[in-house]
């Protein structure tokens, strides 16, 4: 096959913790894997940004430990979680942490002087059970995994490959006989090679979507730049079932920099250690909103901040760190570094902060093995909805979900792959390469920038922390028109990365809005004010 057309047993789209874990599990079982990602390095997603940690187990190991964790997850998720998925996570979690992150790709988690792990506790957890490496746990995990993957002869990594669309029998097979198959089947993906500027046809017996979050369809987000819901949008266009799309978790404090849309996370632990939210005059306001003050739950603090900002018209609020009880540089090195880069002298001036879109609890509906409603297509990690999180996510459970589903999906596909390739030659030949339909017009950066401004402001103001029928209806109408325009523009313009991201982001925003309109009940991180 030519370079723009390849066949692989397993194609993994996305190289965060979920994608890398699945790749390593498959490769260790002897399966050939093609791992692609949009950025220049494997750790370009949210996984490397994780600060707090990953759930392991409490010091009192045993059956009750898994039950206690399940109860904490159900309470955070308002009990609309998928119970069998929660039980699976709680049972398998400690084994997956041990087999992958302690034995196979050892991560230097923090330990106590006696050599045991230093376990911490976060909001919503009934016991200390979280492993961490200072406040850069995600980076430590990704460094170890990347070293294992990059040394593995069974894994081919391709960077700067942005997936455009899934290939399916119903949508793409030229031979009409294949379109009579009752079950639509995923056959891989069209992927833009940013180095050549050309779309490639990647055919695969099995395709795993591990494309991460959707944060950047909102004005403010803590997420890595490429998180615009590529997996959700491709699955939606292919007719794959999606679930819980209205449940977007917002974090109260991200660093606000006027000149960029970078919003690094300012950890909650700072408020735990005495930092206080204030307005631009230095006046503390949280006590007027909730008796728990600055330490009220995330959704309460984020809502109070939004009200303050709407009332004053100010673009941000501030975190006064003067009363923090720990040394800032040693206690919060990641926060201090982000502030320094933004020109803020932490310790001597308050940190400008805004709430930001943080974690997507919904996504592509997937079962215990990561199987979706389409044959041959799997979804794992933040782009999937396994039902673990229900209406809200328990802190530090998402890295564990990415790990457990990466292992489970990898093991499941390794068993399937034992019998060799499953895509018949005639079906592969029936899939055409990408057709340039347009007249090769260049994309226009001004149009793209304006469309993103519209999407992000619409999502922030109408589909954000507080939602009402009127706001959602307005967002629905605006996004419906915009999606139509972008679709026409996309058809007539030579494909570029900017255009692929815009196309994915606009459709993701549109399907989130529709889900938020359908759910009239305020629950978890879906907050209806009418």
Which residues in this chain contact ligand FAD in the complex, by CB under 6 A?
13-19, 36-39, 44-47, 49-54, 137-138, 161-163, 210-213, 222-224, 226-227, 230, 265, 359, 381-382, 396-399, 402
Judge whether 298 counts as a catalytic residue. yes
Q: Look up residue 431 and give its two tokens.
A: 């899939």
At closest approach, how far in Å is the CB of 520 from ligand FAD?
28
Our CB check for ligand FAD shows the closer of 362 and 430 to be 362
At closest approach, how far in Å is the CB of 26 from ligand FAD?
15
The enclosing H or E element of 130 equals: strand 130-131
Distance between CA 484 and CA 439 in Å, rounded? 19
Q: Look up residue 71 and give its two tokens.
A: 């109860």
Our CB check for ligand FAD shows the closer of 321 and 397 to be 397
Residue 182 neighbours by CB distance under 10 Å: 4
**Residue ranges with strand state E in 136-197:** 155-158, 161-168, 186-193
Catalytic residue among 298, 393, 456, 467: 298
Our CB check for ligand FAD shows the closer of 226 and 390 to be 226
At closest approach, how far in Å is the CB of 431 from ligand FAD?
19
Distance between CA 18 and CA 386 in Å, rounded? 13
Our CB check for ligand FAD shows the closer of 17 and 475 to be 17
The enclosing H or E element of 413 equals: helix 397-417
At closest approach, how far in Å is the CB of 280 from ligand FAD?
25
Q: Is 453 helix (H, G, I), strand (E, B) or coil?
A: helix
Q: Compute the Cα dihedral for 155, 160, 165, 167 and give only its sign.
A: negative
Our CB check for ligand FAD shows the closer of 31 and 366 to be 366
Residues forming a β-bridge with 156: 34
Q: Which residue is nearest to ligand FAD (CB)?
A: 16
β-pair type (54-55, 33-36): unpaired
Our CB check for ligand FAD shows the closer of 162 and 278 to be 162
Residue 150 Cα distances to 27, 34, 146, angstroms: 11, 12, 6
* CA-based radius of gyration for the chain: 23
Q: Is 123 helix (H, G, I), strand (E, B) or coil?
A: coil
Catalytic sites, residue numbers? 298
């Amino acid at each position: 096959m030519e370079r723009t057309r390849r066949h692989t047993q397993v194609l993994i789209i996305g190289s965060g913790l979920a994608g890398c874990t699945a790749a390593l599990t498959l490769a260790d079982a002897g399966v050939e894997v093609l791992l692609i990602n949009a950025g220049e390095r494997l750790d370009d997603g949210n996984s490397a940004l994780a600060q707090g940690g990953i759930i392991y187990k409490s010091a009192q190991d045993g059956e009750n430990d898994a039950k206690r964790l399940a109860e904490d997850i159900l309470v955070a998720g308002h009990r609309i979680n998928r119970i069998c998925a929660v039980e699976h996570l709680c049972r398998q979690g400690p084994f997956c942490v041990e087999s992958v992150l302690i034995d196979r790709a050892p991560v230097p988690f923090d330990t106590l002087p006696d050599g045991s792990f230093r376990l911490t506790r976060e909001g919503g957890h009934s016991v200390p059970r979280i492993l961490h490496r200072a406040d850069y746990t995600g980076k430590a995990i990704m460094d170890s995994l990347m070293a294992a993957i990059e040394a593995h002869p069974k894994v081919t990594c391709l960077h700067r490959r942005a997936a455009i669309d899934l290939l399916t029998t119903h949508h793409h097979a030229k031979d009409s006989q294949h379109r009579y198959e009752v079950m639509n089947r995923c056959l891989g993906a069209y992927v833009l090679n940013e180095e050549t500027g050309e779309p490639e046809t990647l055919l695969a017996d099995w395709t795993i979507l591990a494309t991460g979050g959707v944060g950047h369809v909102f004005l403010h987000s803590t997420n890595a730049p490429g998180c615009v819901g590529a997996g959700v949008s491709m699955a939606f266009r292919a007719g794959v079932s999606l679930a819980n799309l209205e449940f977007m978790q917002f974090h109260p404090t991200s660093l606000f920099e006027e000149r960029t849309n970078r919003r690094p996370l300012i950890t909650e632990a700072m408020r735990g250690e005495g930092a206080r939210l204030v307005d631009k005059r230095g006046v503390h306001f949280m006590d007027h909103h909730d008796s728990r003050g600055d330490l009220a739950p995330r959704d309460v603090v984020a809502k109070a901040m939004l009200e303050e900002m709407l009332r004053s018209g100010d673009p941000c609020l501030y975190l006064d760190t003067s009363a923090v009880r720990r040394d800032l540089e040693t206690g919060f090195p990641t926060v201090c570094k982000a502030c320094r880069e933004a020109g803020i002298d932490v310790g001597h001036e308050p940190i400008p902060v805004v709430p930001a879109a943080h974690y997507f609890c919904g996504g592509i509906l997937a079962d215990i093995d990561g199987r979706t409603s389409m044959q041959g297509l799997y979804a794992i990690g933040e782009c999937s909805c396994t039902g673990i999180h229900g209406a809200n996510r328990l802190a530090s459970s998402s890295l564990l979900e990415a790990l457990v589903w990466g292992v489970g999906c990898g093991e499941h596909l390794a068993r399937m792959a034992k019998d060799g390739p499953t895509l018949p030659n005639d079906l592969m030949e029936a899939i055409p390469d990408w057709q340039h339909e347009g007249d090769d017009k260049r994309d226009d950066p001004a149009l793209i920038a304006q469309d993103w401004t519209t999407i992000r402001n619409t999502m922030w103001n109408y589909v954000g922390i507080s939602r009402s029928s009127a706001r959602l209806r307005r967002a629905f109408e605006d996004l419906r028109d915009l999606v139509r325009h972008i679709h026409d523009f996309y058809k007539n313009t030579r494909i570029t990365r900017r255009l692929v991201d815009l196309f994915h982001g606009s459709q993701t925003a549109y399907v989130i809005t529709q889900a938020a309109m359908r759910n009239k009940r305020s629950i978890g991180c879906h907050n209806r004010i009418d």
